[in-house]
Structure 1
Amino acid sequence: MNYTVIGGGVGCARFVKGLREHVRRDGGDHRIDVVVNTADDWWVSGLRIAPDHDSLLYALAGVNDAERGWGRADESERVSAELAAWGTAPDWFTLGDLDLGTHIARTAWLRDGLSVSEVYRRLGSRWDLGATLHPATDAEIDTHVLLADGERIHFQEWWVRHRAQLPATGFVQRDIGRATPSAGALEAIAGADAVLIAPSNPVVSVGPLLAVPGIREALAAAGAPVVGVSGIISGGVVRGMADACLAAIGVETSAEAVGRLYGARDAGGVLDGWLVDEADGDAVAPLERAGIATRSVPLWMRDADTSAQLAADALELSAALR
């Protein structure tokens, strides 16, 4: 069976780890592909930084800092301090020394003319990830935040420096209208037996990915059911500041509202199925009426067992819809 996950960041990484664990326990011949958001990438000190990809890479490789939730384990930050001292990097965006090794390698390959897809392949070949990562697009589509005062800043400045506290009215991706999906992304979607939207930030991780021209069309044409997993439980975010992102686009922070944001595939949206937490069982009936098959199951990924069970629940719903 071929399973394709769509998303990015820590929530996606935890979900993919759960899916990988489920596949290992289940046995058989399975393949996992992950189509990764690239819109929160940006340039720092002449280096291309890719937070959503690297969260997945490090977590699947088992070298991530699980306590912080980002970056490499056993890090030092001497180089980052030097970059800030020289004024080539903002002092509010700290990069670890091991992490910088990844960014230097990535940038060197990009400057040699390699595509982002090929860079993903090279970075992923270092470890046995149990999954293949594909960029949503090989184009640069950095997200910028539209502030209430009329200014526009890069998403990373809004997210990291200001902790999403500056009032925002929307998000835009640079040159996204000219972007095209990567070949790997299209192949992963077309060849999937199940497409799973991870519990990633629906606005700045999944939203830009779906906005790449051709991705929604690929999902609409996919023969596999598309099942999403809510990253909102009991009206609160599991991790991060997705509530601030949802507020900026006028969407309530709830599992039902995010399900409606994605929409039913047979009505022009992307979802066939949607998993909400047991605490959000009251969202099942209205979403079912909206054309989205919805189930309430435990969503908290506390360990390998609960993460694997969540992946199994998503695949069970997909199988029922196939």
Structure 2
Amino acid sequence: MKTGKVVALSGGIGGAKLALGLDRVLAPGQLTIIANTGDDFRHLGLHISPDIDTLLYTLAGLDDPVRGWGRRDETWNFMQALGQIGGETWFQLGDGDLAIHVERTRRLAGGETLSEVTDGLRRRLGIASAIVPMSDDPVRTRVETDEGWLDFQHYFVRRRCEPRVRALEFAGAATARLAANALAALSDPALAAIIICPSNPYLSVDPIRAVPGLREALHAASAPVIAVSPIIAGQAVKGPTAKMMAELGLMPSAATVAEHYAGLIDVFVVDEADAETGVGGAEKRVGPTLMRNLDDKIGLARLVLGVTGWTV
């Protein structure tokens, strides 16, 4: 196996799937995953970090393969009891899932950073790869819709992505600082590859890119930046990516995503269904990118790492 370190930028379920493949083929300590925290919010007095938790559950083998989010074999006694007394139930928190939110909130209140809390949780769950938030400072994704401005979870979960999207903003990004462990991973002289997972470019990757210092760190790194398209044959595998692109006046296609990343990436990986798609100035690699099972995730990880000469 080639030696070196790998950094992956991830948000949402698609990002976690490739992160799992990378985690399975790389040696312990080789992979650092920088997680989107633009989806974070306070709910019922708790600090919720959906994309971090998706990574924690997925890499620990605790994720629900049916819903695609939350813990497997979950129970819902808390939500049922909350509904009986008139509490807010639009954001579902399972009984097991509650534990991680309660513990995170407790530790943050005690003075730990989100990076410290996240690292402690991944160690307790037996995850060998590092998972770091993009920032320890709050950055919140907000969506301008035909119903007005909505905080991300109110758009994504409460309104189920139904309002038409007009614009996005990342509140707090201008004054946020790149998490120290994220900067260290991107500055590591042993860094051999930077991978942008097939996450929503606008809702999951752009919040990370909006943090000051991230773009500069990517450009300063000598390692190639490789992005995987979340669009296959004009459709998003999961989530509102294609719908959002159309509402923003963009053609839902792999080529549009490649254009969005122009000047940032060196290589763009597209599915076999998009083999004839142009990717601008980036180098194009083609292969199966649909991840239905663990073998698919490992296969895509090997394809992406192979761009840099890795044989795994």
TM-score normalised by the chain length of structure 2: 0.93
- 2:155 is the alignment partner of 1:158: yes
Instruction: Please list the CA deviations of residues 221-266 of structure 1 after superposition, one character each: whole Å capped at 9, or x if unmatched.
Output: 0110000111110100011111233234332211111011011xxx
Question: Alignment partner of 2:222: what SS?
Answer: coil
* Aligned counterpart, 1:110: 108
* Aligned counterpart, 2:283: 293
* Aligned counterpart, 2:96: 98
* Aligned counterpart, 1:52: 51
2:23–2:59 contact (8 Å) kept in structure 1: no
Deviation at 1:172, TM superposition (A): 1.1
Question: Alignment partner of 1:318: what SS?
Answer: coil
**How do 1:126-165 residues align onto structure 2 when only pairs under 5 Å count?**
126-149=124-147, 151-165=148-162
* Aligned counterpart, 1:11: 14
What amino acid sits opposite 1:272 in the alignment?
D
1:226–1:318 contact (8 Å) kept in structure 2: no
Deviation at 1:206, TM superposition (A): 0.6
* Aligned counterpart, 2:240: 241
What amino acid sits opposite 2:17 in the alignment?
R
Q: Percent identity?
A: 37
Cα RMSD (Å): 1.6
How far apart, in 2, do the equivalents of 1:297 and 1:93 lie? 36
**How do 1:20-31 residues align onto structure 2 when only pairs under 5 Å count?**
20-23=23-26, 31=30
How far apart, in 2, do the equivalents of 1:244 and 1:230 lie? 16
* Aligned counterpart, 1:34: 33
Q: Provide the aligned length of Structure 1 versus Structure 2.
A: 305
2:29–2:130 contact (8 Å) kept in structure 1: no
Question: Alignment partner of 1:302: what SS?
Answer: coil
**How do 1:1-322 residues align onto structure 2 when only pairs under 5 Å count?**
1-23=4-26, 31-89=30-88, 91-149=89-147, 151-191=148-188, 192-263=191-262, 269-283=263-277, 286-287=278-279, 290-319=280-309
Question: Alignment partner of 1:152: what SS?
Answer: strand
Instruction: Please list the CA deviations of residues 78-103 of structure 1 after superposition, one character each: whole Å capped at 9, or x if unmatched.
Output: 212333444553x2211101111100
What amino acid sits opposite 1:18 in the alignment?
G
How far apart, in 2, do the equivalents of 1:53 and 1:250 lie? 30
* Aligned counterpart, 1:266: none
2:234–2:242 contact (8 Å) kept in structure 1: no
1:251–1:258 contact (8 Å) kept in structure 2: no
Unaligned runs of 5+ in 1: 264-268
1:33–1:188 contact (8 Å) kept in structure 2: yes
How far apart, in 1, do the equivalents of 2:304 and 2:212 lie? 26
TM-score normalised by the chain length of structure 1: 0.91
1:35–1:136 contact (8 Å) kept in structure 2: yes
